[in-house]
Amino acid sequence: MPSAARRFDDHARDAAVLLGWFGMTILMIGAPLVGVLSRRALFILLPIGAALLFSAFVVSMPSNGISALKRAISSPLGLAILFLAGWMGLSLLWTPFPRMAGPRYAAGVSVIAITALIIAYLPERRARPSLYLLPAGLVVTAALTVGMNFFGPASFRGGSEFDSSLLERSVLTLVLLVWPALGALGVFARWTLATVLVTLVALVIVLSSAQIALAAFALAALTFAAGAGDAKRVAKIAATAVGVLILVAPLLPFVLAPLALSTGLTGRSTVAAMTDWRDLVSADGWRLITGHGFDTARRGVVYGYLPAHTPRTILFEVWYELGVLGATGLAAVFVIGLVAAGNTAANVAPAVLAGIAATGTIVISGVATGQLWFLTMTGLEAVAFGLLARSSRTGQRPIAATVAAAAPEKSDASRILPRI
């Protein structure tokens, strides 16, 4: 009987290894890659990868997944995200577009829930090959993006007013995910490979003429360099700047509109956007407290409810849709997230800060703020950082090494594939 039980445990361990390996491969390589070729495949791969990982952890019967999830939910960052998501859901009661906003809200909450489950059940032990999956996936994604840009169909480079082109999606994906990939390579001091990866991503951005992506990449690179020197100080400065920017956002158009008009350095559309933003804030009144409801800004432009030049930055949208309570919740998410990033391990903090800087720059620019694919890719970025943080926590201690040397020989699958 003990022999049979041991064989059963070995088979369960083998199954968990295979399922976990396939799940991480789908998330770290498949998800960025298919975004170059399809608009919808990403929404399929994330749940599939999550299901495989969850199945692996169920088979291996981990004991820390539920407790990790509880700790994450009860943490300051978890509570801030719950408050913001809850206020968004409550605002569906007064949004002018409840039938369209409801499904979009449900989809967004589903992405957040799946991301939280994946991160909660990530392994504690470091698996070197699993950390290399994302850098490898990004190299292939970057090469395919360049090829499609020069030799692919015109539809790859063309989008619509309210939806990004596949080229823009691919470039923004690289800008988001290069930082956890860089952190993964930095954990093992693979700085030559890290330099090659960063150079390749920068080359793709330049060849794609993506100005917003280039700005986000440059700011994130500066944040990474500064964070390598003093991550906690950089985190505090960034948290203060972002928090203040979000909270005083309704005052910005009153300063920027006359400035843009008088200098003549910006285009007519920018001047019109600042003017429309100022007029909307002036007319909002008590709506500055509650907002107009989730998804009102985006749908309002589509159906003529708002002017055509209405800003698409998150600084406008969060105040217009969710009011001061939503803006406070968003500021809390960024501030707490940045401070927490600064307190992570020294070899991880610069990459996390750079990733937040890249994400924040993109959403403030308004390029992909209201699009579900961007939220999904941000969730994938969080998963990559979660794996990086878990991997950096544990190293093999001398006692663990002694026990491992004395342990029975592993089964076949455990020898071939890393434990995920």
Secondary structure of 11-23 in the HEC alphabet? Answer: HHHHHHHHHHHHH
Q: What is the pLDDT of residue 255?
A: 87
Q: What is the pLDDT of residue 307?
A: 87
Q: What is the pLDDT of residue 159?
A: 60
Q: Give the length of the chain.
A: 420
As a whole number of angstroms, the distance between CA 193 and CA 114 comes to 31
Q: What is the pLDDT of residue 93?
A: 95
Q: What is the pLDDT of residue 81?
A: 94
Tens of each residue's pLDDT in the chain, 420 residues: 445 444 444 566 667 777 778 888 898 999 999 988 888 888 888 888 888 877 777 766 555 667 777 888 888 999 999 999 999 999 999 999 999 999 999 999 999 988 888 887 776 554 556 788 999 999 999 999 999 988 888 878 776 544 578 888 899 999 999 999 999 998 888 889 999 999 999 999 999 888 889 999 999 999 999 999 899 999 999 999 999 999 999 999 888 877 777 765 555 667 778 888 888 998 888 889 999 999 999 888 888 888 888 888 899 999 999 999 999 999 999 999 999 999 988 889 999 999 999 999 999 988 776 788 889 999 999 999 988 887 765 444 333 333 333 344 444 444 434 444
Q: Are 392 and 187 in contact (CB under 8 A)?
A: yes
Q: What is the pLDDT of residue 127?
A: 53
Q: What angle do CA 210, 270, 206 make, to 5 degrees?
A: 10
List beta partners, residue 160: 163
Q: What is the pLDDT of residue 283?
A: 87
322 contacts: CB under 8 Å, gap ≥ 6: 87, 88, 91, 291, 294, 329, 330
Position 132: which residue type?
A: Y
Rounded alpha-carbon distances, angstroms, from residue 243 to 240, 262, 312: 5, 28, 19
